[in-house]
């Protein structure tokens, strides 16, 4: 027993020495941590990467020096930078650590800061239930401290959450309280809450009152509003005018808001105002313009994981395609919208949770009052309690004895359970090893299959190229012999045979040429040149002049003044050549109809749109969906191989463009090609 005491005493002195050395080392690192944090502050508005570096240095030094306050500040700083970078998952992680350390050490002010940061980031991420929990807790702490300005901030944040879950009445209550507190504590500081209250009034259809609040907000900052206030004011005024049916004024203010958002690179705000402008375009029937805006906004929302705006964008896409009667795409995007809505907490659940939280606050206050009454009662009955405590100690000792026996029994059971777990773990490891081997085998097989498929495609391209070249030589000889025979032979029947052989050889030559073009498109690299579309069309029409005149086909060249754009001239020529050839080939040979081909080119939304329209025999609806497939023929009248429109599709896809076939109102055949302008 004596030796055990000696060992414990030695261990205590060794541990005390280690802790003392650690404290000395930690004290030496505190100034370095403070210096690193100052560097973070100086860089945070200009260079986020440098700011992150110094914040992490301060964090590591804070942990090493066991400086809890520095750990709390640095964790929140690192979270702030990740929030600015759009990495919400990392930001929430660091904010949560800051909150926990602050709570453990009783840093109430830092607890409030961390709660506020967590509430804001969950709000921005569309997780309104979590945001409400943090802001309500923050509100309780701030009310206890009695700082009106801080209470106003929390009330404003809670009002915003209720606004997002469409509880506008409750949102208006909190926001009205926030504006009032701001004006009492610091007149002129109520701008954010005033703008949010105006938004709430818009949603409550009190548009005149909303416009009044927006004007008050803009007057307060006197043309020196910060970017966030100016943005929200302009966007809110736009929403009010939109609700009043004044689309012109609504667009004017939405565009002002968009200009500010782009100037200051406010990602989430760019997304929101693009949605408003797109919705306005849909109401005005400008579907193409609306789609451009929605997809631009959705690209930002997807990149930064803005679930709320992703849901709104996909809902608007579903509406657009439904109006366009493309019900397949409408159903697709509505499904995505429904899925995203399920990720965002249900409105009723949030309202019930908010109600529960409010009840919790009320119960907490009642418990505080009750505990005070009990404390008074305990002080008056201290002597009686002393006797009770002695009895309780005796009872506790008995309970401890029984608990100790139970603990020993449980320890034995735990030991047996651990043995079983170790056995199961060993079995799992064996299974994992087998699975890893199988995965390696399947991966190797997949790689070999991919390599074989790639080689097969290369061999196929080489085969088409070589075969086409090898056949064209004898084919040219055959054509030459037919031409000579047509000159030298007088027999009518023989001449007829040689003419048919010559025509067949010409058709085969055309097919081989198109196969070579397919190989050329598949294997060529895009080379961008300045394209003068008028000149390209003019040159192609020269090639077809003889054929068009012979068929009495009138060509209407309706190309507008389209500025030169950059694209691959060879691929553009292939597209136009085959579309014009197709229109000429399937002309209406009736003497009662004057055949014509219209060629149009316009610039639309940063793209060049080419149209080739003809009044030929048309395309049967039964085969319309397959006309761009290889060897697909639009009509049995054609003596072609069905490669022309396939070549067009390949060339358009190579240029990352679009092509579609449709009928005009008069029933004429129309092909529309959209190409990017370089």
DSSP 83-152: HHHT-HHHHHHHHHHHHHHHHHTT-HHHHHHHHHHHHHHHHHTT-HHHHHHHHHHHHHHHHHHT-HHHHH
199 versus 508: which is more confidently predicted? Answer: 199
Question: Is residue 17 scored above 50 in pLDDT?
Answer: no
DSSP secondary-structure letter at 655? T
- In Å, what is the CA distance from 232 to each residue of 21, 128, 225? 55, 20, 11
pLDDT band at residue 12 under the 50/70/90 scheme: very low
Question: Is residue 259 scored above 60 in pLDDT?
Answer: yes
Question: Is residue 115 scored above 60 in pLDDT?
Answer: yes
465 versus 144: which is more confidently predicted? Answer: 144
* Residues 192 and 182 sit within 8 Å (Cβ to Cβ): no
Question: Is residue 234 scored above 60 in pLDDT?
Answer: yes
Mean per-residue pLDDT, 468-482: 69
C-alpha distance across the termini of the chain, in Å = 89
Question: Of the segments 81-85, 228-232, 337-341, which one has the largest average pLDDT value?
Answer: 81-85
Mean per-residue pLDDT, 20-27: 43
Mean per-residue pLDDT, 491-520: 70
Range from 28-37, 138-147, 343-352, 535-544 carrying the lowest mean pLDDT: 343-352
pLDDT at 255: 93
Range from 229-243, 341-355, 518-532 carrying the lowest mean pLDDT: 341-355
Question: Is residue 112 scored above 50 in pLDDT?
Answer: yes
Mean per-residue pLDDT, 349-366: 49
Range from 24-33, 71-80, 132-141, 243-252 carrying the lowest mean pLDDT: 24-33
pLDDT at 252: 92
pLDDT at 361: 52
Question: Is residue 463 scored above 70 in pLDDT?
Answer: no
Q: Tens digit of pLDDT for each residue in 533-567?
A: 888 888 888 888 887 877 788 888 888 777 788 88
Return the closest-CA partner of residue 669 out of 608, 620, 614.
Answer: 614
Q: Tens digit of pLDDT for each residue in 397-449?
A: 999 988 988 988 898 888 888 888 888 888 888 888 888 888 888 888 888 77
| Domain residue ranges in the chain | 529-676
Question: Is residue 507 scored above 60 in pLDDT?
Answer: yes
- Tell me which architecture the domain covering 529-676 has in CATH: 2-Layer Sandwich (3.30)
Q: Tens digit of pLDDT for each residue in 578-624?
A: 888 888 888 887 888 888 999 988 888 888 888 999 988 888 778 77
What does the mean pLDDT of the chain come to?
Answer: 81
DSSP bridge pairs for 598 = 556, 613
Q: Tens digit of pLDDT for each residue in 26-49?
A: 456 788 989 999 999 999 888 989
Other C-beta atoms lying within 10 Å of the C-beta of residue 93:
15
Rounded Cα distance, 489 and 494, in Å:
7
pLDDT band at residue 294 under the 50/70/90 scheme: very high
Contacts of 514 (CB under 8 A, 6+ apart): 641, 643, 644, 647
DSSP 371-389: HHHHHHHHHHTHHHHHHHH
pLDDT at 299: 92
Q: Would the pTM of this model clear 0.75, i.e. be above it? A: no
The pairing of beta strand 529-531 with beta strand 565-567: antiparallel
Range from 28-37, 265-274, 640-649 carrying the lowest mean pLDDT: 640-649
How large a percentage of the chain has pLDDT more than 90? Answer: 24
pLDDT at 93: 93
For 288-304, give one letter per residue: b (16+ CB within 10 A) or e: ebbbbbbebbbebbeeb
222 versus 656: which is more confidently predicted? Answer: 656
* Residues 670 and 611 sit within 8 Å (Cβ to Cβ): yes
Return the closest-CA partner of residue 540 out of 563, 574, 504, 571.
Answer: 574
Rounded Cα distance, 324 and 316, in Å:
12
pLDDT at 57: 92
Count how many Cα atoms sit within 13 Å of the Cα of residue 67 in the half-sphere of its side chain. Answer: 25
Mean per-residue pLDDT, 182-200: 84
Mean per-residue pLDDT, 337-349: 66
pLDDT band at residue 4 under the 50/70/90 scheme: very low
pLDDT at 557: 82
Range from 114-118, 123-127, 271-275, 292-296 carrying the lowest mean pLDDT: 123-127
Rounded Cα distance, 215 and 35, in Å:
44
Question: Is residue 454 scored above 80 in pLDDT?
Answer: no
């Amino acid at each position: 027993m004596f030796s055990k005491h000696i060992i414990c005493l030695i261990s205590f002195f060794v541990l005390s020495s280690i802790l003392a050395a650690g404290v000395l080392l930690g004290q030496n690192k505190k100034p370095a941590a403070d210096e690193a944090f100052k560097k973070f502050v100086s860089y945070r508005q200009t260079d986020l990467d440098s700011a992150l570096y110094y914040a992490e240095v301060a964090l590591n030094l804070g942990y090493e020096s066991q400086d809890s306050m520095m750990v709390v500040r640095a964790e929140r700083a690192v979270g702030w930078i990740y929030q600015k970078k759009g990495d919400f998952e990392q930001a929430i992680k660091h904010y949560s650590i800051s909150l926990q350390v602050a709570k453990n050490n009783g840093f109430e002010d830092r607890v409030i800061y961390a709660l506020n940061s967590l509430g804001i980031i969950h709000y921005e991420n569309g997780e309104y239930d979590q945001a409400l929990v943090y802001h309500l807790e923050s509100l309780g702490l701030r009310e206890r401290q009695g700082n009106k300005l801080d209470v106003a901030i929390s009330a404003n944040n809670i009002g915003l959450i209720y606004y997002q879950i469409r509880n506008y009445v409750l949102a208006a209550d909190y926001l009205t309280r926030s504006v009032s507190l701001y004006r009492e504590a610091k007149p002129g500081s109520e701008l954010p809450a005033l703008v949010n209250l105006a938004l709430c009034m818009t949603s409550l259809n009190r548009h005149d009152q909303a416009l009044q609040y927006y004007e008050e907000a803009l007057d307060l900052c006197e043309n020196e509003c910060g970017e966030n206030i100016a943005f929200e004011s302009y966007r809110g005024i736009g929403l009010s005018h939109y609700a009043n049916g004044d689309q012109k004024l609504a667009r004017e203010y939405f565009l002002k808001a968009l200009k500010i958002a782009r100037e200051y690179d406010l990602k989430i705000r760019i997304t929101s105002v693009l949605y408003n402008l797109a919705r306005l375009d849909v109401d005005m029937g400008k579907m193409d313009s609306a789609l451009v805006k929605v997809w631009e906004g959705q690209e930002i929302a997807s990149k930064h994981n803005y679930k709320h705006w992703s849901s709104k964008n996909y809902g608007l896409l579903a509406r657009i395609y439904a109006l366009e009667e493309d019900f397949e795409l409408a159903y697709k995007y509505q499904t995505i919208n429904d899925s995203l809505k399920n990720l965002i907490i249900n409105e009723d659940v949030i309202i019930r949770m908010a109600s529960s939280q409010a009840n919790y606050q009320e119960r907490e206050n009642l418990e505080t009052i009750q505990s005070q009454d009990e404390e008074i009662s305990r002080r008056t009955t201290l002597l009686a309690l002393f006797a009770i405590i002695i009895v309780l100690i005796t009872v506790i000792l008995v309970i401890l004895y029984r608990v100790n026996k139970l603990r020993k029994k449980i320890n034995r059971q735990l030991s047996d359970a651990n043995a079983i777990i170790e056995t199961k773990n060993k079995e799992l490891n064996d299974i994992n090893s087998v699975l890893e081997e199988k995965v390696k085998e399947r991966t190797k097989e997949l790689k070999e299959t991919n390599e074989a498929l790639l080689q097969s495609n290369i061999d196929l391209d080489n085969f088409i190229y070589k075969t086409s070249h090898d056949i064209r030589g004898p084919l040219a000889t055959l054509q030459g012999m037919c031409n000579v025979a047509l000159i030298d032979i007088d027999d009518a029947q023989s001449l007829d045979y040689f003419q048919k052989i010559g025509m067949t050889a010409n058709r085969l030559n055309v097919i081989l040429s198109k196969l070579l073009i397919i190989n050329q498109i598949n294997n060529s690299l895009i080379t961008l040149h300045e394209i003068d579309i008028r000149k390209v069309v003019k040159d192609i029409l020269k090639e077809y002049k003889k054929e068009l005149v012979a068929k009495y086909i009138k060509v209407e060249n309706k190309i507008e003044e389209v500025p030169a754009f950059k694209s691959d001239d060879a691929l553009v020529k292939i597209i136009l050549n085959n579309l014009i050839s197709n229109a000429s080939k399937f002309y209406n040979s009736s003497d009662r109809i004057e055949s014509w081909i219209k060629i149009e080119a316009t610039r639309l939304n940063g793209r060049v749109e080419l149209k080739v329209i003809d009044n030929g025999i048309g395309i049967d609806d039964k085969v319309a969906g397959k006309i761009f497939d290889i060897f697909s023929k639009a009509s049995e009248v054609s003596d072609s191989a069905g490669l022309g429109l396939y070549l067009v599709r390949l060339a358009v896809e190579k240029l990352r463009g679009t092509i579609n076939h449709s009928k005009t109102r008069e029933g004429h055949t129309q092909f529309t090609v959209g190409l990017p302008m370089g």
